[in-house]
Amino acid sequence: MPLPGVGEELKQAKEIEDAEKYSFMAAVTKAPKKCRWSACSIYSTQNEVAAALAEAGVAVFAWKGESEDDFWWCIDRCVNMDGCQANMILDDGGDLTHWVYKKYPNVFKKIQGIVEASMTGVHRLYQLSKAGKLCVPARNVNDSVTKQKFDNLYCCRESILDGLKRTTDVMFGGKQVVVCGYGEVGKGCCDALKALGAIVYITEIDPICALQACMDGFRVVKLNEVIRQVDVVRTCTGNKNVVTREHLDRMKNSCIVCNIGHSNTEIDVTSLRTPELTWERVRSQVDHVIWTDSKRVILLAKGRLLNLSCSTVPTFVLSITAKTQALALIELYNAPEGRYKQDVYLLPKKMDEYVASLHLPSSDAHLTELTDDQAKYLGLNKNGPFKPNYYRY
C-alpha cells in the first residue's frame, strides 16, 4: 500500500534488512516521485533486499560490509541528487541529517521535516534545536511509546541473545556480564541474560535507572570495579568511550566485548589499532585482539551494533516501527504551514495508540470498550487517547 500524502522526493538512511523492511521501503517508494536510500550501518544491509529494490527502480546506495569511506560515499550519493530536491528526510542515527548540514545546507530550503528513529539521532536533533540551528521541524520517533517498548525493550531482549549465540557459541549460564546502561535497551538485554542464568551487573549515570536496576535484582557498579572478573562487557548507552583502552587492558582472557547502543563509538576500538596488538579474524563479525602476553579479547562486529550486524530484527517489531515512521512522515508533510516550528516534536499519543491497535489482531487481542458513563467518569474520549503525554508505561 502506498503512503497517502507523502511528498515528491524523499531521502532515507535506514537499515535495509529483510522482507518487512523491504515492504515498508516499497510502500514509501510508491508515494513519492523519487526516493533514495542508504544504510545507517555498514553491516545491516541484506544485499538481496537492496537488489530487489534496485530492480524495482529505487535508487539504493547500500551493501553489506561497507567500509567507512563507502558508508559516507553512499550517504553522499543519497543526498547529491543532480537537481533532484528532497522535501523529507527519514533518518536512523542522524548521519544523513548531519551530512546534509555539513555538506549541503541549501537542501534545507525545501525540506519540510525530518523523522528520526534512534536515540543518538534524536540527541543530535535536540542539540541543533538548543543551539538554534535546526532549520526544519523534526519528529522524534525514538521516544514514541511503541518504538521504546517494542523495538528497544522487547526486540533487544531477543536480538541480544540471537547475536551472541550466532557469534560466540557460548553458554551464558553462570557467566558474569556487565551491561553499561539501563535504559529500555539495557533493560531488555539484562532480562534476557538473567533468564539464561547469567550474573548481571549494571553501570548507570542516572540515579532513577540505577534504582530501577536495584529493584529488578541487579547490582549497580562502576565498570572499574568488575572489569577484571566479568566474562562479557556489553554497552547500550548511546554515548562514546564507555569502554576505554584502560578497561580493555584490564579485561580477563577471552572476555567478550560488544555494543548494542550507538555506532562504533561506545567502545574505543581505535585504541586497539596499535603495533603491539594483533588482530585475528576467527569468523564473520568476530575478531580476537591479542595482547603481547597472549591474552585475547573477543570483539564482536568491530564494536558496531550487534543486533544489526550479527542478528536480524523480527518482522513484527519492524512493522511497528515502520508504521510509526510512516505516520510521522505523513503528519509532517501534510501539516498546514505554521503548525510546527523549527523544533523537535514527539509523536502524538493518538498515533502511538493507533499503531499499537493495528498489531493487536496478530495476538488475537480484544480491547474492552468504555461505556459512555465510564468515559465521562474518567474524562476520556471513548476512542482515545487513553493516557496523558506524561504517563509512564
205: annotated binding-site residue?
A: no
- Are the beta carbons of 296 and 269 closer than 8 angstroms? no
Kindly report each contact of residues 126-134 with a partner whose C-beta sits within 8 Å and lies 24 or more positions away, as own/partner: 126/344, 128/101, 129/342, 129/343, 129/344, 133/101, 134/342, 134/343, 134/344
199: annotated binding-site residue?
A: no
204: annotated binding-site residue?
A: yes
Residues 108, 122: Cα–Cα separation, whole Å? 18
188: annotated binding-site residue?
A: yes
The secondary structure of the chain in percent helix, strand, coil, rounded to multiples of 5, reads 40, 15, 40
Residues 229, 219: Cα–Cα separation, whole Å? 14
98: annotated binding-site residue?
A: no
55: annotated binding-site residue?
A: no
261: annotated binding-site residue?
A: yes
Provide the strand spans (E) within 27-70. 34-38, 59-61
Q: Please name the residue that has the C-alpha cell 506524561.
A: 390
Please give the DSSP secondary-structure letter assigned to residue 3: P
186: annotated binding-site residue?
A: yes
Helix, coil or strand: residue 381: coil
113: annotated binding-site residue?
A: no
Crossing angle of the two packed helices 349-358 and 315-334, in degrees rounded to 10: 140
Backbone conformation region of residue 203, classed left if phi is above 0, alpha if psi is from -120 to 50, else beta: beta
Q: Are strands 296-300 and 286-290 parallel, antiparallel or unpaired?
A: antiparallel
Residue 308: which residues within 8 A CB-CB, separation 6 or more?
A: 15, 17, 41, 43, 44
- Are the beta carbons of 269 and 227 closer than 8 angstroms? no
One-letter amino acid identity for 69?
A: D
- Are the beta carbons of 324 and 347 closer than 8 angstroms? yes
5: annotated binding-site residue?
A: no
307: annotated binding-site residue?
A: yes
How many residues in the chain? Answer: 393
Residues 350, 324: Cα–Cα separation, whole Å? 11
Residue 193: which residues within 8 A CB-CB, separation 6 or more?
A: 160, 161, 172, 177, 179, 200
Query: Binding-site residues, please?
Result: 183-188, 204, 260-262, 307
Query: Binding-site residues for NAD(+), please?
Result: 183-188, 204, 260-262, 307
